[in-house]
Amino acid sequence: MRKILVTGGCGYIGSHTIVDLLEHGYEVISIDDNSRSSAFSVNGIEKITGKKVKNYKVDLKNFDETQAVFQENTDIAGVIHFAAYKAVGESVAAPLLYFENNLFSLINLLKCVEEFSIPHFVFSSSCTVYGNPDSIPVTEAFPIKKAESPYGATKQMGEEMLTDFTKNGACDAILLRYFNPVGAHPSAILGELPIGKPQNLVPAITQTAIGKLPKMKVFGNDYDTRDGSCIRDYIHVCDIAHAHTLAIQYLENTKNEGPCDIFNLGTGLGVTVLEAIQTFEEVSGVKLNYEIAPRRPGDVIAIYANNDKAVNKLGWQIKYGIKEMMKTAWDWELKLKAEADSVKNN
């Protein structure tokens, strides 16, 4: 059974990807320092799959501790790298924190990939590298625009580092550019655990609907779009997860055209903020308490993917639509509340 190392395996997309890898016959280990994730995620993974996953609680900025994991696991067939800070606003307030964490972690990891001759590497990138595109939908050939935030800059630099690193044949790599990952595992055993007040739309919706937040803001309804609110390509976290399994298989079967292939992970459909809210209200039966607020600086007006490459080359088939995204996100929020209530009542 081929062993895959997932960094950030206790995080939102990492934990869902581990479930998918296990369900497709891989053995998995994780490196996650749990600074921004819950160590209990591995329990959820075991509940869903019946399989145990060992998480090494290691800070990837510590080279010796990272190297020790590779020394202990000499049969790693591939690495999927999620571990990074990803809050756009925080990165603007603390750029050095983001450059140090996101780039030093990647450099240490690649040093180990080189030292231990790991053949395959999948990198968690983001549509944020496209900035405000000149037209939509965007393909992987679209130009990279100047990053709107230090977070986005670390994703662009990570892509450049991997492009140069793989040129020497050290390993082959795939860069996966996620659009907007949302939703939760259909079992409601795994889902997103935002730290503090949620910055992203869907957790802001579900936390407002459940009563954790009194009201949410729609950042602008005066954009040049069909209803004035921003357009995004929301993609279910389980569809994102399965694309990582397909990416590893693609590399193992040496189907990649070059040493570092790029794929967009989006549905190809644009949804406005107000449409997302309306869909949530329909599937949850909850009337959402929100107000129209001023635009959020740095917001891209409209972006969604051309996903033909991932569909045709990776064989990626999207299973979840916007209704299931909202339904699974709401079921997860309800589950969190039920667990919190049971703790309170015991």
Active-site residue list: 151
DSSP state of 11: S
Q: How far is the CB of 106 from ligand WQD (least distance, A)?
A: 15
- List residues bridging with 9 in a β-sheet: none
> By CB under 6 A, what part of segment 126-155 binds ligand WQD?
126, 128
x/- letters, 81..100, toward ligand WQD (CB under 6 A): -----x-x------------
**Cα–Cα distance for residue pair 81/176, rounded to 1 Å:** 10
Q: Toward ligand WQD, which CB reaches closer, 81 or 172?
A: 81
Q: Is 38 exposed, middle or buried (0-12, 13-18, 19+ CB in 10 A)?
A: middle
Contact at 8 Å (CB) between 85 and 97? yes
Pairing of strands 120-126, 172-178: parallel
Q: Toward ligand WQD, which CB reaches closer, 78 or 181?
A: 181
Q: Which residues contact 89 (CB under 8 A, 6 or more apart)?
A: 149, 199
Contact flag: residue 199 with ligand WQD (CB under 6 A): yes
The window from 37-45, 196-204, 241-249, 305-313 that contacts ligand WQD (CB under 6 A) reads: 196-204
> Residue 24 corresponds to which tokens in the numbers above?
């497709």
Query: What DSSP string describes 255-299?
Result: --SSSEEEEEES-S--EEHHHHHHHHHHHH-----EEEEPPPTT-
List the one residue from 30, 154, 180, 264 that touches ligand WQD (CB under 6 A): 180
Q: Toward ligand WQD, which CB reaches closer, 104 or 219?
A: 219
* Maximum separation of any 2 CA atoms in the chain, in Å: 59
> Residue 180 corresponds to which tokens in the numbers above?
């907007």
Contact flag: residue 101 with ligand WQD (CB under 6 A): no
Q: Toward ligand WQD, which CB reaches closer, 26 or 179?
A: 179
Q: How far is the CB of 200 from ligand WQD (least distance, A)?
A: 3
List the one residue from 299, 311, 324, 334 that touches ligand WQD (CB under 6 A): 299
List the one residue from 200, 221, 256, 278 that touches ligand WQD (CB under 6 A): 200
x/- letters, 228..257, toward ligand WQD (CB under 6 A): --x-x-------------------------
Residue with tokens 């390993």: 171
Contact flag: residue 218 with ligand WQD (CB under 6 A): yes
Name the residue among 84, 68, 78 with its Cα closest to residue 113.
78
Contact flag: residue 278 with ligand WQD (CB under 6 A): no
On the CB side of 22, CA atoms within 13 Å amount to 23
Q: Toward ligand WQD, which CB reaches closer, 24 or 295?
A: 295
Contact flag: residue 16 with ligand WQD (CB under 6 A): no
The window from 52-60, 156-164, 185-193, 211-219 that contacts ligand WQD (CB under 6 A) reads: 211-219
Contact flag: residue 296 with ligand WQD (CB under 6 A): yes
Residue with tokens 């001023």: 294
> Residue 279 corresponds to which tokens in the numbers above?
């869909």
Q: How far is the CB of 29 from ligand WQD (least distance, A)?
A: 23
Instruction: Classify residue 86 as left (phi > 0), alpha (psi -120 to 50) or beta.
Output: alpha
Contact flag: residue 325 with ligand WQD (CB under 6 A): no
Q: How far is the CB of 185 from ligand WQD (least distance, A)?
A: 18
Q: Is 291 exposed, middle or buried (0-12, 13-18, 19+ CB in 10 A)?
A: exposed
Q: Given the rule CB under 6 A, which residues bind ligand WQD?
A: 86, 88, 126, 128, 178, 180, 199-201, 204, 216-219, 230, 232, 273, 296, 299
